[in-house]
Structure 1
Amino acid sequence: MRLVDKSIDKEGEGSITLIPEEPEDMWHAYNLISEGDSVRSTTIRKVQSESATGSSTSNRVRTMLTITVENIDFDTQACMLRLKGRNIEENQYVKMGAYHTLDLELNRKFSLRKHEWDSVSLERVEISVDPTKSADVAAVIMQEGLAHVCLITSSMTLVRAKIDVTIPRKRKGFVQQHEKGLAKFYENVMQGILRHVNFDIVKCVLIGSPGFVRDQFFEYMFQMAVKLDNKVLLDNKSKFMLVHTSSGFKHSLKEVLQDPAVINKISETKAAGEVKALENFYTTLQCEPAKAFYGKKHVETANEAQAIETLLISDNLFRCKDVNLRKEYVNLVDSVRESGGDVKIFSSLHISGEQLEQLTGVAAILRFPMPELEDEDSEAEED
């Protein structure tokens, strides 16, 4: 997603202009636009015109229109958002108050105006504009003297660094120069990884090469990590995975991503945090029921006691028509974060999100047991 313009006042009112560039961006747009917001974009409108003789002709004209959104339809197959609402700005082709449907598509600029941009919406904009924040897989594709450091999101690959070093050939009398050149190359690749891979987000780093280059590099990197006591690399050693590629060029990444072992590893990383959190929730619910609760009322009570360690919440709840109810969920997210809790916002298009929906869409794992919430349940059942 490309951010074109952002104009928000101190009260949180204002507009943001965006251009969706990837299929994933349409999903972000769907999560950002709520009923009651106003959206401005170009559209095609059928216009009837009457000639002097009384005959009428209809033409399709492109015009800029601003509507107040009343209905949102997301076509996941065509990657298109259909917004229906009333026109709220003077237009030579569309009367004020007339209904129109705006189609938001890839590479079509739109401006979104809200009465209040809350923290959840602003965070969504930040993630969509900076895809590195959602890239949970990294890859280093290399051969002697050439390497590409890439970040992979669910819909795109970003080359973050290209390392190109001339290494003297390994021949009689030049062995030392060859080894020096190789060490310099490996050092540059290691620095590229440290600079561009955020290990707080990235859950898997693939290192691919022909021959034994990947193995030699991996050995060099961890020898240096031990020598320099580099905690970042040492703590994340288990995230690295060595795979074979035919070259060090970017197109070899395609081979890596088709490797069954890699597919298995990557499928674990996609929404892995959410899946694990949901598993933890079910386990806690079975083993320590006083530390796991779901439903808005119980979760809010636990939050008042600052007892929430992990909040599990569906992005569907932020699309509710009731503005006040949405605010309550946003306040819940902000409050849990302020008290040091972890917040996992689940995608309703993901299987784990669907499971959470069955538990009312909001659940929490607590820091300490709250048996009084269980007592409330049993009292309610008795009544």
Structure 2
Amino acid sequence: MKIGYIKQSSNDKSQTIINLTPEDKEDLFTIYQIIDPDDEVIIKKMFTTKQEDSNKKTVTELHEIKLKILSYEFDIKDEYLRYKGVTIPDETGVANKDISIGKFLSFSIAYTHPMTIYKHNLNKYAKRLLQDAENAMNKSEIGAVVLQEGIAHVCLLTSSSTIMKQKIAVTLPKKKNAEDATKFNDLNESFYRKIYDAMLAHFDFNELKVVLLCSPGFFADALQKHILKFAEQEQNEDILKNQESFLLANCSTGYLQGIDEVLKNPKYMERLEDTKFVKDVKLLDQFMEHLDNDDDMAWYGRYEVMKAARLDAIDTLLMSDMVLKSNRVAKREKYLDLIDLVEANGGKVHIFSSLHTSGEELNQLTGLACILKYSIPTLDERGEDEEADDDFSDSGAEGTDDEKEEMITSKA
């Protein structure tokens, strides 16, 4: 993400003006986390207007439009983030020059044009999201290719997501005779060449910590040999001098699930353990192990976690970013206060991305969980005085209606 500027509004001290340009799928999720209903945006949109002096001919042009946000639709898998809003006056005189005020419009976030967000009450979590989005070091740490016969997926693993950059598919014939065998070999060579070209297009070999090649069987090994062969033919120094960054791994499928298998495999943890992606998986596995052991060291649910925080009993707080996207700003602020409380008591806070399978799993457990400093068997028991003092009035996995809607949105 490119950040143009972040500054306080001169007209409204509670409003922060953010100018940015999204560049990839992860930036869409950042914008989704930041923009709320009633925030305002200036975006560029193709708009058709009627020309009164030209026999009512219509003209389609790119206009700058300022809207007050009313609602949103979000599907991260299809890179789809769409907002509905109503046009409002623009005190800067930049937007809505030819667009009437009070007009209801919808628009999708595009990677093409910068946008300006007028954000009410920019909290510290949103500020951190913007800092992380702008900092390239928090982007891709691992490049990955997962493949099997005739199909490969070239991906980048960031601190928050797995981004598939390109899919390569080739239909390979059965080797029934010599002619088929020759055709097979030619197509197979072409298959590996296409993967190599895709990696050149999407990977920065000088910046990636690990280039992960994983597959069932020996396809990953064959791919590495072809990569080095092509690199030697072209004298590609970026690849040749970074050969030690390649990691071969075995998995059961050439689809994206294969990457998750590798990340959970202790055999490969040592090479990958300094990346946030793997830390998420390891931490959730640790939490689930406590649940399986039934040792009362791990709890989930809003009431239980808040009670543990008050008792200064939380060693690690596991929180989904969807929790911090609550439609109710007051509830969102309480979650931020919970983070402050845990950190003030010496606990660790780990926020999971819903773009990861680990984040999706945590969302199924209310999006809020903790690992304790010591065992508390009665943490879920409520006294009469505690009932009235429950800041999160909705307990357990049920959640409120707005939170159920949030979970559905994140899984769409």
Q: TM-score, normalised by structure 1?
A: 0.65
Q: Please, which of 303, 311, 314 is the counterpart of residue 320 of structure 2?
A: 314
Equivalent residue runs for 1:30-69 within 5 Å = 30-51=32-53, 55-69=55-69
- Name the aligned partner's letter for residue 17 of structure 2: S
Residues 337, 290 of structure 1: CA spacing in aligned structure 2 closer, same or farther, 3 A cutoff?
same
- 2:349 corresponds to: 343
Report SS of the residue matched to 2:296. Answer: helix
Residue 26 of structure 1 corresponds to which residue in structure 2? Answer: 28
Partner of 1:276: 282
1:311, CA displacement in angstroms? 1.2
| Residue matched to 2:74 | 74
The CA deviation string for residues 66-122 of structure 1, in whole angstroms up to 9 with x for no partner, is 212111223435534211111122423322222111321113201122121111111
* Counterpart Cα distance in 1 of 2:243 and 2:27: 22
Counterpart selection for 1:133 from 112, 131, 138 = 138
**2:97 maps to which residue?**
92
> Is 1:105 aligned with 2:117?
no
Corresponding letter in the other structure for 2:104: Y
**CA offsets per residue over residues 341-381 of structure 1, 9 Å max, x none?**
2222222232222221221111111112233413339x99x
Residue in structure 1 matched with residue 4 of structure 2 by the alignment:
4
CA distance in 2, matches of 1:76, 1:109: 20
Amino acid at match of 2:337: N
Contact 2:263 2:281 in 1 (8 A): no
Once the 2 structures are TM-superposed, how far is the Cα of residue 266 of structure 1 from its aligned partner? 6.3
Indicate if the aligned counterparts of 1:12 and 1:118 stay in contact, CA closer than 8 A.
no
Q: Which structure: larger Rg?
A: 1
Q: Which runs of 5+ in 1 are unaligned?
A: 140-150, 162-196, 198-203, 209-242
Matched residues in 1 for 2:367 and 2:50: separation?
A: 48
Deviations 1:104-147 (A, max 9, x none): 111320112212111111111111111312444389xxxxxxxx
Partner of 2:322, secondary structure, is helix
Change (3 A) 1:131 1:111: same
Residue 14 (structure 1) aligned with residue 2 (structure 2): no
Query: 1:158: Cα distance to partner?
Result: 4.2
Amino acid at match of 1:30: Y
Query: 2:51 corresponds to which letter in structure 1?
Result: S
Matches within 5 A, 1:155-166: 155=163, 157-158=203-204
CA drift of 1:20 comes to: 1.3
Gaps of 5+ in 2: 91-95, 145-155, 164-201, 214-223, 252-257, 265-271, 388-412
1:144-203 alpha-carbon deviations (Å, 9 max, x no partner): xxxxxxx97455644657xxxxxxxxxxxxxxxxxxxxxxxxxxxxxxxxxxx9xxxxxx
Q: Which digits, 9 at most, give the CA deviation of each residue in 1:249-298, with x for residues without a partner?
A: 33567997695459758645573222222221122123354322111111
Change (3 A) 1:83 1:206: closer
C-alpha separation between the residues in 1 aligned to 2:363 and 2:25?
24
1:254-265 to 2 correspondence within 5 Å? 259-261=248-250
Identity of aligned residues (%): 26
Is 1:353 paired with 2:369? Answer: no
Instruction: Report the TM-score, using the length of structure 2 for normalisation.
Output: 0.61
Confirm or deny: 8 A CA contact 1:11 1:116 kept in the other structure.
no
2:237 corresponds in structure 1 to 249
Once structures 1 and 2 are overlaid, which stretch shifts more, 97-106 or 359-368? 97-106
Given residue 312 of structure 1, which amino acid in structure 2 is its aligned partner? L
d(CA) in 2 for partners of 1:338 and 1:97? 46
Give the Å deviation of 1:50: 2.7
- 1:4 Cα deviation (Å)? 0.8
Alignment of 1:159-308 (within 5 A): 205=210, 245-246=228-229, 247=231, 249-250=237-238, 259-261=248-250, 267-268=263-264, 269=272, 271-308=277-314
Over residues 14-72 of structure 1, what are the superposed CA-to-partner deviations in whole Å (9 max), with x where a residue is unaligned? 121111123322222222222222111111222123347xx422221211112121112
In the alignment, is the contact (CA less than 8 A) between 1:2 and 1:129 conserved in 2?
yes
Paired with 2:368 and 2:157, the residues of 1 have a C-alpha distance of 29
Check the 8 A contact 1:43/1:103 in 2, yes or no.
no
Asked if structure 2 preserves the Cα contact closer than 8 Å seen for 1:137 and 1:266, the reply is no
CA 1:110–1:159 in structure 2 vs 1: closer, same or farther (change >3 Å)? farther
Return the alpha-carbon distance in structure 2 between the equivalents of residues 48 and 255 of structure 1.
62
Contact 1:41–1:110 under 8 Å retained in 2: yes
Bigger mean CA deviation after superposition, 247-256 or 58-67? 247-256
Is the CA contact 1:310–1:365 (under 8 Å) kept in the aligned structure 2?
A: yes
1:287-324 Cα shifts (integer Å, max 9, x gaps): 35432211111111111222211111111122221111
